[in-house]
Structure 1
Amino acid sequence: MRMSSPSSRRKSGWVVGHVAGAPVIVAPSWLLAVGVLTFLYADTARALTGLSGSAVYVVALSFVVLLFASVFLHELAHGLVARSRGQQPREFVLTLWGGHTSFDAVSATPATSALISVAGPVVNLVLAAAFFVPLRLDLLEPHTVLWALMWSGAAANGFVGLFNLVPALPLDGGRVLEAIVWATSRDRLRGTIVAGWCGRVFAVGFVAWALLASTGDGGEPDFFLVAWCAIIGAFLWSGASAAIKNAHVVRRVDGVTLSSVARRAVTVGASDSVAHAGAVAATGGAQEVVVLSPDGRPAAYVDRAAAAAVPAEVAGTTPVTAVSVPLPVGASVDGQLSGRALVDDVGRATRYSPVVAVLVDGRVIGLIRATDVIAALRP
């Protein structure tokens, strides 16, 4: 059970309803989870109820349905608290691993992030208490089907609630830790990286615990337990690593500035010569030359290799357009942008050309090549 970052892609699956303005989606992997968990819980259901035959699997299936109902309430709590804080949930998804809730935007403050994150586990702990009270007060006949479901509901919700509060990404407790570091350091990405590394440590520790627990009595290891915990550990490691990687990518994107990706440019007219363009560039200390159309629009840029190949004796009579590459309409970016806004604008402009002009108040001040932006975003 985890919250995911904003994404433009909707998960595949069956939409079974809408809550809080967002679709509830059942992923195909959920069916696999239902089948596997029903089979795994059959022995426990048999021990708790004394039933046999197909009745055991009916009880086991009832528990699995109850479990996923609790998971849905967990995710719904995330969404409702988020909506109350002005953050619209985009979808609730039930999957092989339980479920997750995604949003249209990231939390604006550490407090909002922490409240949204803790809401799910709190619901599970409240449900665990509600299931446990009738057992504690001996209101049910032991070893009946209802008693077994209550016992299972209390145990499952207690485990899910406490497990998700572990301060390690991708668990909800990891988001709470992220929010704490964010609030104290004023750096959200630092919080993500710290919580992500805690997630990696927890994933390794979880698998190590499974190995020790399965061989603690000196007997044969429980390979099923180890395998199951290894799968969960791999899931946790993958989620934590993805969070760390995304944080580093976001930090690099936020660090992109005009000075880091643009090359200074001067402008010349379409009727000017290659020699004149070179002289203007040298005088202005520029690396690039942009050719303007009669209406002042950046119409082309000079191919430096082609310009350098023009013999000096004919450079004064060779038109600059002979060594220029056209710039389509739209192949320009706003030179007053930085960070993600600049990267997004470059992404839009490079749909027209791999080289784009940088404009400030309609005046060309530089050129940006897509390859330079890609290089700036690499680790």
Structure 2
Amino acid sequence: MTTDNGSASREPAARDSGGRRSGWLMARPYGIPIYVTPSWLVIAAIITILYEPVVESLLGLGAASYLVAFVFAVLLYASVLVHELAHAVVARMFGIPVERITLFMLGGVTEMRGEARTPGREFLIAFAGPLLSLVLAAAGWAAQLFVPPDTVPGVLLWQLFVANLLVGVFNLMPGLPLDGGKVVRSAVWALTRRPTAGTVVAAWGGRVLAVFVVGLPFLLYLPSGRMPSVFMVLLGVLLGGFMWMGAGSALRGARFRERIPRLRVRLLARRAVAVPSGTPLAEADRRMAEADAGAVLVTDSSGAPVSIVSHDAAGAVPEERRPWISVDHVSRAVTGGAVIGADLEGERLLAAMRAHPAAEYLVVGEDGGVFGVLRTRDVDDAFAGI
């Protein structure tokens, strides 16, 4: 399964955004790092065990049947890798940086920094993977016609055909996070000129497909009156759960992006009251309430702001100690990165905050004068409920 979408290296294993290990670096084709997670070993073992009886019935190799069955597992994930590389190469053609490709138990994912700017590019990036998979499937099918089916080369070519056909057809299912869902999203985007509308339609398509995948093992066995195997039920639940979570993530991402243009520093910034260095916290509270302000700036002897009283640090001071605690003890210095313009909005605002993370920012107007204070928490609250 895909989303967005050499020799082993001794480079340290990759880590995800939370700092957790995400796989072993295996190669860098086209400069794109390829990682394989330990979960792949689990699914490879399962595929080998389940497919070995088929190989044995065709070739009668004895214990060597396990090796041929394992090759099928490798070919399946090699097909996923080629599929993901197709996404990555086309994305790079359109100037979208590719971070990495990761292969895991349920397939692969291509991590990109950025998104397609037009529905046409979205379609080409999404369709490139399934298209290449189907081309390789056709090549494998044509090649196996010229090789006896009861030989190792014949079985391997058949495996190549089946692996790429599975990857290509499955990923064309019309729902996110699959490539077919991205094709649907690009079509709705082109018709409505609203990428969010495309995401909503494709994500709900993905949720419908997720329910179908979970119920598919039972539907297949319904005519016979028998129950599906535990493995088929678990596989359906795993795939369906992955698809449901991927579709939900796409919906949240769409809602997030829809709110970004509404972010405006002038609307989010709090009015600030200035107090001299050394002012007791209780006195700062009084002045802030009197001015109906939402933040406190600490100034030097010339009246220039040098620090911002931390909302969290000040809130942790007990009421009885506030007359005796100076604002200097609960404030953060105003550095160059913690000063932003009042005209920032949308992506520009988020980019400025990502470049210099801080709990509070000093907001200045076009004339350089103090406009107020922006709290990161207020920006986060703008995305509440997503």
TM range (shorter): 0.7 to 0.9
- Pairwise CA distance, 1:143: 2.3
1:103 is displaced (CA, Å) by: 1.7
Measured in 1, the distance between the counterparts of 2:379 and 2:231 equals 48
Residue pairs, 1:108-257, within 5 angstroms: 108-135=117-144, 138-257=145-264
Residue type of the alignment partner of 1:18: R
- Asked if residue 13 in structure 1 is aligned to residue 13 in structure 2, the reply is no
Residue number in structure 2 paired with 1:2: 2
Mark the CA change 1:131 to 1:302 in structure 2 (over 3 Å): closer, same or farther.
closer
Larger radius of gyration: 1
Q: Which moved more, 1:158-167 or 1:187-196?
A: 187-196
Does the CA contact (< 8 Å) of 1:214 and 1:225 recur in 2?
Answer: no
Deviation at 1:30, TM superposition (A): 1.8
Deviation, structure 1 residue 301:
6.0
Match of 1:62 among 62, 66, 71: 71
The code of the aligned residue for 1:248 comes to R
Could you tell me which amino acid in structure 2 is paired with residue 356 of structure 1? Y
User: Hey, what does 2:109 align to over in structure 1?
Assistant: 100
Distance 2:207 2:66 in 1: 36
| Preserved contact between residue 334 and residue 362 of structure 2 (Cα < 8 Å) | no
CA distance in 1, matches of 2:148, 2:294: 85
Over 3 Å counting, the alpha-carbon distance change for 1:301 and 1:235 in structure 2 is: closer
Question: Partners of 1:142 and 1:348 in 2: how far apart?
Answer: 59
Q: Secondary structure at the match of 2:114?
A: coil
Cα distance change on mapping 1:193 and 1:142 into 2, 3 Å: same
Once the two structures are TM-superposed, the CA of residue 92 in structure 1 deviates from its matched residue by: 2.0
| 2:341 corresponds to 1:358 | no
- 8 A contact 2:275–2:298 mirrored in 1: yes
SS in 1 for 2:263: coil
CA distance in 1, matches of 2:278, 2:210: 66
Give the 3-state SS of the residue equivalent to 1:368 in structure 2: strand
Counterpart in the other structure of 1:373 = 379
Q: CA contact under 8 A between 1:300 and 1:325: conserved in structure 2?
A: no
Aligned pairs, number: 358
User: Kindly, what percent of the aligned residue pairs are identical?
Assistant: 37
Asked if 2 retains the 8 angstrom alpha-carbon contact of 1:332 and 1:349, the reply is no
Equivalent position of 2:11 in the other structure: none
* Residues 40-79 of structure 1 mapped to structure 2, 5 A cutoff: 40-47=50-57, 49-79=58-88
Classify the secondary structure of the residue corresponding to 1:16: strand
Tell me: CA distance 1:158–1:287, structure 2 relative to 1, closer, same or farther (3 Å). closer
SS in 2 for 1:106: coil
Report the equivalent of 1:32. 42
Normalised by the size of structure 1, how large is the TM-score?
0.81
Aligned to 2:9: none
Post-superposition Cα deviations, 1:25-68, rounded to whole Å, max 9, x if no partner, equal 22222222221211121122223x24142121122112222222
Q: Cα–Cα, structure 1 residues 271 and 121, in superposed 2: closer, same or farther, change >3 Å?
A: closer
Structure 2 spans left out of the alignment, 5+ residues: 6-15
Asked whether the 8 Å contact 1:290–1:301 carries over to 2, the reply is yes
Shift of residue 121, structure 1, vs aligned partner: 0.6
Q: 1:141 to 1:198 in 2, by over 3 A?
A: same
Root-mean-square deviation (Å): 3.5
Determine the structure 2 residue equivalent to 1:328: 333
Distance 1:286 1:340 in 2: 27
